[in-house]
Amino acid sequence: MTEVQGEAISRILGAASFAAERHRDQRRKGKDASPYINHPLALASLLAGCGERDPTVLMAALLHDTVEDTATTFAELEQAFGPEVAGIVREVTDDKALPKAERKRLQIEHAAHLSRRAMLVKLADKICNLRDILVSPPTDWGAQRKREYFDWAKAVVDPMRGVHPRLEALFDEVYARKPAAAP
């Protein structure tokens, strides 16, 4: 391993432990209520598995929910991980002051204007969320709610088409498993 690679691994692991610390009291919404950190780890691992080697993207994936879902600020991320990582997290963070429906609409509207790196994080997020819904859906979600979520995720992903064919193929694979409408 070169010194540069060693440095990158150390920064990536630093982001993973920062995220683990910030999300330590949170659980995923799914029925198995897994530790929240499993979700950012799943994004980073999916991206790395698809050949993504940019440490900035992997770190942003690990940190992508820290501002939206914990008391972490962008200034803190910038201080600890630099302006590029903080900038990507900013691009994929919803404004929680807005009503949920508006936030969901804005994700679709903003998708085409994201930086390439932010698109990769966003795509991985949508793939992981759909996979989670299939494996461990929130207990109060019926088929219709799941179907709506799948369609919304696709509406966010479609404007980003062309950014990463391999990730898009993985998205299409999981989207194809959209639950059937309740009879």
Catalytically annotated residues: 68-69
Positions in 96-125 near Zn ion (CB under 5 A): 125
For the bound state, the minimum distance from the C-beta of residue 102 to Zn ion, rounded and expressed in Å, comes to 19
For the bound state, the minimum distance from the C-beta of residue 129 to Zn ion, rounded and expressed in Å, comes to 7
Nearer to Zn ion, 52 or 65 (CB): 65
Residue number closest to Zn ion, CB atom:
125
- Contacts with Zn ion: how many residues (CB under 5 A)? 2
The string of DSSP codes covering 121-166 is: HHHHHHHHHHHHHHHS--TT--HHHHHHHHHHHHHHHGGGTTS-HH
Taken in order 28, 8, 18, 67, the sign of the CA dihedral is: negative
For the bound state, the minimum distance from the C-beta of residue 65 to Zn ion, rounded and expressed in Å, comes to 5
For the bound state, the minimum distance from the C-beta of residue 5 to Zn ion, rounded and expressed in Å, comes to 27
* Residues 69/48, Cβ–Cβ less than 8 Å: no
Nearer to Zn ion, 65 or 91 (CB): 65
Positions in 40-69 near Zn ion (CB under 5 A): 65
Nearer to Zn ion, 100 or 182 (CB): 100
Determine the residue type at 150.
F
Positions in 125-144 near Zn ion (CB under 5 A): 125
Q: What is the 3-state secondary structure (H, E, C) of 15-75?
A: HHHHHHHHCCCCECCCCCCCECCHHHHHHHHHHHHCCCCCHHHHHHHHHCCHHHHCCCCHH
Q: Could you list the residues that contact Zn ion (CB under 5 A)?
A: 65, 125
